[in-house]
Amino acid sequence: MSLIGKKIPDFSSDAVVNNRLGSFDSSALRGKWAVVFFYPLDFTFVCPTEIIAFSDAAAEFNKLGCAVVGVSIDSMFSHFAWVNTPRAKGGLGELNIPLVADINKTIARSFDCLDEEAGVAFRGVYLLDPEGKLQSCIINNLPVGRNVQEVLRTLKAFQYVTSHDGEVCPANWDEGSDTMNPTPDGVAQYLGSH
């Protein structure tokens, strides 16, 4: 059953926030766009490339009124150790996003991205609107990382259609590109000019 268009369950857990041990409550996401992304494990291989890419893009997400949060089944202590390991030694270094601990796997289960057999989360990216409803979900199997620029593009597209009632974004739409009206004439006009 798809979670698209549904409100994601609230969650609260231990976390590394502002590079310190602490906690995170999803109520902090209310009233803004949010990206919640899951990754399998700390101190692994594809995961740091994704986490660093999301962290490096945090300012761009923030400009768009969007918070970014990472989640894995590791403890906050494991997250903290990884953040305190320099990048040149395989660590994350300082981050601009929180990393949430999901030791009991309840958050990954509630987002329907837990690989029960492996006991880790798949690489899920969830785009939530300001009401906490899921607008986009991309889930990759474990060996392939996500494209942060595609997540930004998708965020901009959903923000565009939210503020431009009656318009939709066609394939490969990017900021500044043409949109179309969701009617037979709108499709014909768009396809005829592209």
d(CA 114, CA 5): 20
Q: Is 137 a catalytic residue?
A: no
d(CA 149, CA 54): 9
Q: Is there a contact between 85 and 128 (Cβ–Cβ < 8 Å)?
A: no
* Annotated active-site residue in 47, 113, 137, 169: 47
d(CA 173, CA 177): 6
Q: Within a 10 A sphere around the Cβ of 88, how many other Cβ atoms?
A: 7
Active site residues: 47
